[in-house]
Amino acid sequence: MIILGIILLVVGFLLKIQILWVIGIVVLIIGLVLLALGSMGRAVGGRRHYF
């Protein structure tokens, strides 16, 4: 999710498409939250790790 968020940010910035920029930020934040929760050993959605 983190990589997808970064790709959407870059594409949205280069093509000047605002909605891709916003979706990229949201996906990136969700990916970072899931990464942080998984690294603390807390199972999220039945999964302990998110790669």
Tens of pLDDT, residues 7-50: 988 999 899 889 999 999 999 999 998 888 877 777 776 666 65
Residue 41 CB contacts under 8 Å (≥ 6 apart), including other chains? 48
Q: What CA–CA distance (Å, rounded) separates 15 from 47? A: 35
Q: Say what the pLDDT of residue 22 is.
A: 92
pLDDT of residue 14: 92
pTM of the model: 0.75
Higher pLDDT, residue 51 or 5: 5
